[in-house]
Each structure stands twice: as C-alpha cells, then as structure tokens.
C-alpha cells in the first residue's frame, strides 16, 4: 500500500516519508542550536560549544606532517604512473594494498594479539554504511537485532531505516557500570519473542559509545556464548578500538575467537572505520571484517552501493603501511586522548560532577541525575535544554541513547582545542556553583 501525499502531485515511498531517520530527536536538535550560534574563541566567545560530536581533532598535526613528507601518497608518484589504473579501479574487492594496510593497522591497534586476513576485509564508504550493509545481510525485514543500551543514536536510523529491521534493547544500568549481563540478554531475547520478532543477531559497540569504556573479557565471552547458544550473529562495532587510553585494556572479539581457536566463528563480524581513530570522517572509510565466507562474498557485492574512492584508498594504503607513521600515530593519539580525558574528568570533579569510569573513546559518560527534579526522561530533557540554552553547551542526553536511567549525558572532548575545553569546563563550574547557591 503506497502512501500518497495529500496535495495533488506524484507520491513518494514509505521510506522517503518515514521518520526513522530520527533527525527530529534531541541528539540532532542540539546540533541545530550549535549551527545557529557556534562558539568561536575570537569572534563568538559566548556561542554554543559543540560537545555532542564524537570527532577526533587532537592528532591532525601528525596526519599533516605525514602528507607533507610523503607527496607520493596524494599524487600517485612522479609522472603519475599509477594514476590511470587507479582512476579506473572500481573493483568492489578494493585495492589489495589498502586492505593489507587496514589489516595491519587493525593488528597494530590490538597489540598484535589478533591476526586479520586482508581477504576478509570488505570496504564501505564509512562505518554507517558497514552497519547498514551487515543488517541487510544478516536479517530479513521485520526481524530484530539486540542492542545493549545506552547506544549510539545513529543506530536507530542506520540499522532500521531502509532495512526494515527492528532493534530490541538489552537494558543495562549503573548498578554494574552499564555492563551487559546474561540475564539482560535473555530478557531482551524473550521480549523479542513475545513480540513475535525473530532475533537474528546481537550488535555491541566495543569500546562502547556512549559509555567510553571497553567491554571486559568475561562479558565478551558471555555475549559470544549467548550468540552461539541462540545460533545468532554477533556484530562487534570496534570503531573506537584505536582510541583506548591504554593498549592493554581493550579486548577485541577477535582475540576471544583466537583463544577459542576460531571455533564457530562464522557468526562473528567486526565493523571498523578510520573516522574516529584517525580523525578522518570526511574520507568515508569503513570496513566489515567477517569470519563468514558467505557474508564476505555478499557484503562485497553489496558494497557496490558504497565504494571508497580509489584515490582515497591509494592515499591511505601509503599512509597506513608506513610502520613508523602508524606506530607513532597510535601511541601519540592514545596519549593525547588520555590527557584530554583526565582534563575533563578532573574539571568535572572539581565542579562536583561524577562520571562513569572510562578508558576509551572521544567522550565521557556524565552523571547529572542528582540534579534532576524527578528521575524521569522529561526532567532529563528539561535539564538538557537548560544546559543547551543557558550554559550553551551541546551535550547528548542519555534518553537519545535509549538509556533506561535518566540523568546521564555523553560529553565529547576531542573535537575542540584545549582552550575551548577549558572554557566549557569553566561554564560547567559556574553553572554548578549557581545551582548550589540556589539550594
């Protein structure tokens, strides 16, 4: 049954008119407020500071230095001998050199504790496309994926919009630092069954967005066992794997599989991207790494709709296969993110605000529940509006991440200069002072 728009004229599809793109939620409303009044150190010092965008700007100089010193990466070498082939290359297998470089990079991030086969890498234009593609491949329209809360608001759109697949949340709460438990997974599975939804997989983000924390090994094992038990897929979105503050604390699902001798691994798929770790979201580079041959074949064919520019593949193949560069980048990036994290945590502590103990990512998970009038979503949104309009900070309310406990907020710290972060912390400090005085 097609939907026709009321006014006379030719109709659009259900997909086109649906609200599943989610762009009317507070997550995106805050962005609009920022766009209308963006903070600028010199020209608009009282504008809105964007703390709702998980972008990594702390290590641009390293990238720039590399590009300056290696012009062959952006120019196909002297006399451009490789240009012609590169310009014609639209093979959905992707440049072998680039896949090799990505595999190596992913291994380096995991401290060599897992191996990656370049032929299992499927390239997509961003992790957004990778997650959607995997959903098309693992689930039929009307089926369900289980996703632990709180989760990245974009999943509502990326996993559901065109695919017609549903998300059933696995509820996590602060009693155990929002970790997934077998009971919570069972409950979600039963909930899906009661709605007559066929569960096809579970999708985790590790390190977690918005929690900013890695998943512990025992929990990963429990999740894998659960997936095996139910005979469903496990997708591990490891987009922040290179943004952990210490290299040893991040355990990839790849490592768990390695320890188990890759037994029964065809249900596991990893999503990765260079948007966060390398701070290159504009380049549109994502990957699906699957241990399932059929998924690799199908994903590759379907990637025709979302190929990465061969020019970009060439550039990044050069950059990432430069061991000196990649090792230094990973190490330095980690150090700088840790520094930022410490800065924001201490700043918030001085203002009387607690955060979840984090060890990764470009954000922290802040607990403002003591400030809520009532422990409700409405109270949380009211507080969010106050912070947006009075304190002039755009932070992401936990409800937009489907957090079942009101009062938590995600605050990004890597998409600005240190000075701007100082300004933001001062504003928060002042705000908390005023609140205390009022009480």
Q: In the range 266-285, which residues lie near other proteins by CB under 8 A?
A: 266-267, 279-285
Pull the structure tokens for residue 123: 């390239």
Cα separations in angstroms, 257 against 117, 234, 270, 283? 14, 12, 12, 30
> Helix, strand or coil for residue 416?
coil
Q: Does 136 bind other proteins (CB under 8 A)?
A: yes
What are the start-end ranges of the H helices in 216-292?
Answer: 217-230, 253-259
Pull the structure tokens for residue 155: 């999943």
Q: Which of 34, 39, 66, 152 is catalytic?
A: 152
Q: Does 209 bind other proteins (CB under 8 A)?
A: no
- Strand pairing partners for 51? none
Which of 23, 374, 390, 433 binds other proteins (CB under 8 A)? It is: 23
Q: How far apart are CA 386 and CA 369, in angstroms?
A: 14
Q: Which of 239, 251, 308, 344 is catalytic?
A: 239
Q: Does 386 bind other proteins (CB under 8 A)?
A: no
* Least CB distance to other proteins at residue 42 (A): 16
Find the length of the chain.
439
Q: Which of 143, 202, 223, 276 is catalytic?
A: 276
Active site residue 7: no
Of residues 173 through 202, those in contact with other proteins by CB under 8 A are 198, 200
Active site residue 237: yes
The per-type count for the chain, helices as H runs and strands as E runs, is: 16, 13
Of residues 335 through 374, those in contact with other proteins by CB under 8 A are none
Q: How far apart are CA 120 and CA 118, in angstroms?
A: 5
Which of 38, 89, 119, 332 binds other proteins (CB under 8 A)? It is: 89
- Stretch of 4-12, 37-45, 180-188, 357-365 contacting other proteins, by CB under 8 A: 4-12
Query: Closer to other proteins at the Cβ: 106 or 274?
Result: 274
Active site residue 291: no
Cα separations in angstroms, 240 against 7, 53, 250? 46, 14, 10
Q: How far apart are CA 347 and CA 120, in angstroms?
A: 43
* Least CB distance to other proteins at residue 101 (A): 16
In the shown chain, the binding pattern of residues 47 to 86 toward other proteins, with x for contact by CB under 8 A and - for none, equals ------x-x-x--x--xx--x---x--xxx--xx--xx-x
* Least CB distance to other proteins at residue 205 (A): 18
In the shown chain, the binding pattern of residues 301 to 320 toward other proteins, with x for contact by CB under 8 A and - for none, equals xx-xxxxxxxxx--x-----
DSSP β-ladder status, 286-290 and 268-273: antiparallel
Q: How many other CB atoms are there within 10 angstroms of residue 235's CB atom? A: 27
Residues catalogued as catalytic: 152, 237, 239, 276
């Amino acid at each position: 049954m097609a939907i026709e728009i009321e006014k006379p004229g030719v109709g659009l599809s259900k997909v086109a008119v649906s609200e599943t793109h989610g762009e009317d939620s507070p997550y995106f409303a805050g962005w609009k407020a920022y766009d209308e009044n963006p903070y600028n150190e010199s020209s608009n010092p009282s504008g809105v500071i964007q703390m709702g965008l998980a972008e990594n700007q702390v290590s641009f100089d390293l990238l720039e230095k590399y590009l300056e010193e290696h012009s062959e990466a952006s120019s196909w070498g002297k006399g451009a001998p490789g240009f012609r082939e590169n310009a014609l290359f639209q093979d959905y297998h992707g440049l072998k050199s680039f896949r090799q470089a990505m595999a190596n990079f992913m291994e380096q991030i995991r401290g060599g504790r897992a191996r990656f086969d370049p032929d299992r890498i499927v390239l997509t234009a961003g992790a957004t496309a990778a997650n959607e593609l995997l959903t098309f491949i693992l689930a039929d329209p009307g089926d369900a994926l289980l996703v632990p809360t709180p989760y990245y608001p974009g999943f509502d759109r990326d996993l559901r919009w065109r695919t017609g697949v549903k998300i059933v949340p696995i509820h996590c709460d602060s009693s155990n630092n929002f970790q997934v438990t077998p009971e919570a997974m069972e409950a979600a599975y039963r909930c899906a069954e009661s709605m007559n939804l066929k569960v096809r997989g579970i999708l985790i983000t590790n390190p977690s967005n918005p929690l900013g924390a890695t998943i512990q090994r025992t929990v990963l094992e429990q999740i894998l066992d659960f997936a095996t038990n139910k005979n469903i897929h496990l997708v591990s979105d490891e987009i922040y794997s290179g943004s952990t503050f210490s290299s040893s604390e991040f355990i990839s699902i790849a490592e768990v599989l390695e320890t188990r001798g890759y037994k029964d691994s065809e249900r596991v798929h990893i999503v990765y991207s260079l948007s966060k770790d390398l701070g290159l979201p504009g380049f549109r580079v994502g990957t699906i790494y699957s241990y399932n041959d059929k998924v690799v074949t199908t994903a590759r064919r379907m990637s025709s709709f979302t190929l990465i520019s061969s020019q970009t593949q060439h550039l990044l193949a050069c950059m990432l296969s430069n061991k000196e560069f990649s090792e230094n980048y990973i190490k330095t990036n980690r150090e700088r993110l840790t520094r930022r994290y410490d800065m924001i945590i201490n700043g918030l502590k001085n203002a009387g605000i607690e955060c979840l103990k984090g060890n990764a990512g470009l954000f922290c998970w802040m607990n403002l529940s003591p400030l809520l009038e009532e422990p409700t979503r409405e109270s949380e949104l009211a507080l969010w509006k106050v912070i947006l309009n009075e304190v002039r900070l755009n932070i992401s309310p936990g409800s937009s991440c489907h957090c079942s406990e009101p009062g938590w907020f995600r605050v990004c710290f890597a998409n600005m200069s240190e000075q701007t972060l100082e300004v933001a912390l001062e504003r928060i400090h002042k705000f908390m002072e005023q609140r205390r005085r009022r009480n």
